[in-house]
Amino acid sequence: MRLSKEKRFLYTRIAILLTTAGWIGAALAGLKGYPLWYGGFVLCFWVSFGLLNYHARSSFWLALKRPALFAVLFSSLACVLLLMDMFGLSTHIWFYPIYKGWGLLFVWLVIYPFGGLSVLELFHFLARCLGETLHLKERSTQKWQMYFDILEHILFLLMIAVIILGATWISGQIVVLLAASIAVLWILAALIKMRFHINDLGQYLLIIILAVMHGVLSHWLPHTIAREWVGLDASFLNLFALGLPLWVWIGSFLFTLVPLRLWMFLALYSEVK
């Protein structure tokens, strides 16, 4: 049965209210020490902000209207985050007290990919609030864009190669140092590269800062209490910046920029002009 415009509007607002209550309740449960909070948090957050961003054709719109393309985005994001998680587990940077064996499938197929998609929806929401749009633009007169396109691709592939190396073969502080160094270089290159696809530099920096801070406060902070995911000492990565370990900041930037990169260069490839 086809719903009227008024009913669609009403049901959408009800769904937004329910899922907003869901992610807020899950976050509060995590802050109260409930160890299974994060899955409900990221799923409700993704749906809630996906509905708010629906007309921007974000990942939630993609899931409903372009399921094949969403499957490519989802599987790509899940694979990259799986490799990063295996790297962290193999190099003993973090572990999961309650997820073992088959339970890790929930981590790899739900928690991480939908966590990344929820951050992507937040980025869309912040951009829309500030009047910004995410579109690929080809500016042939700017040679710097071509240089950073190539550099970012090389650093991203190199970062993934080192992560695979640490996840499957070599573990220890050397590979952690190498992966962290390349990750920082890739973050810088990705920030500069994506700048070419954003109109206003000030708004762009504000969106990035807000998204990263949100990741630190809502994705990481409750884990320190609920201990669904537990971080360990990581040598030099335990150097503190604004009261938080360096590896938390690197991880938050990766969790923000990797989904955005895959979105812009997989889901929006047809809009290059």
| Cβ–Cβ < 8 Å for 135, 272 | no
The DSSP 8-state label assigned to residue 265 in this structure reads: I
Whole-angstrom Cα Rg for the chain: 19
What pLDDT digit, counting tens, does each position of 152-193 carry? 889 999 999 999 988 887 767 788 888 889 999 999 988 887
Which residues are within 8 A (CB) of 45 and not within 5 positions of it... i.e. 6 or more apart? 19, 23, 118, 121, 122
**pLDDT value at 270 more than 60:** no
Q: Which tokens go with 130?
A: 């500030």
> What are the C-alpha distances in Å from 7 to residues 11, 21, 36, 49?
6, 21, 34, 20
pLDDT number for residue 227: 87
What pLDDT digit, counting tens, does each position of 87-133 carry? 988 888 888 999 988 889 999 999 999 999 999 999 888 888 877 66
Q: Which tokens go with 97?
A: 């007290």
**Which sequence spans correspond to the domains of the chain?**
68-271
- Tell me the three state secondary structure of residue 242: coil
What pLDDT digit, counting tens, does each position of 201-221 carry? 677 788 888 888 888 888 888
pLDDT number for residue 110: 93
pLDDT number for residue 241: 61
d(CA 146, CA 139): 9
**pLDDT value at 48 more than 70:** yes
Which residues are within 8 A (CB) of 120 and not within 5 positions of it... i.e. 6 or more apart? 58, 59, 259, 260, 263
Q: What is the DSSP string of 168-213?
A: HT--SHHHHHHHHHHHHHHHHHHHHHHHTT-S-HHHHHHHHHHHHH
pLDDT number for residue 272: 40
pLDDT number for residue 273: 39
Higher pLDDT, 251 or 158: 158
pLDDT number for residue 182: 93
Question: Mean of the pLDDT values across residues 238-260?
Answer: 78
**For residue 230, which phi and psi values (nearest 5 degrees)?**
-125, 120
Mean pLDDT computed over every residue of the chain: 83
Question: Mean of the pLDDT values across residues 230-242?
Answer: 65
pLDDT number for residue 196: 72
Q: Which range (23-32, 59-68, 190-199, 246-255) has the least confidence?
A: 190-199
**pLDDT value at 12 more than 60:** yes
d(CA 242, CA 249): 10
Q: Which tokens go with 250?
A: 């690197």
Question: Mean of the pLDDT values across residues 63-91?
Answer: 91
Quote helix, strand, coil % in the chain, to nearest 5: 75, 5, 20
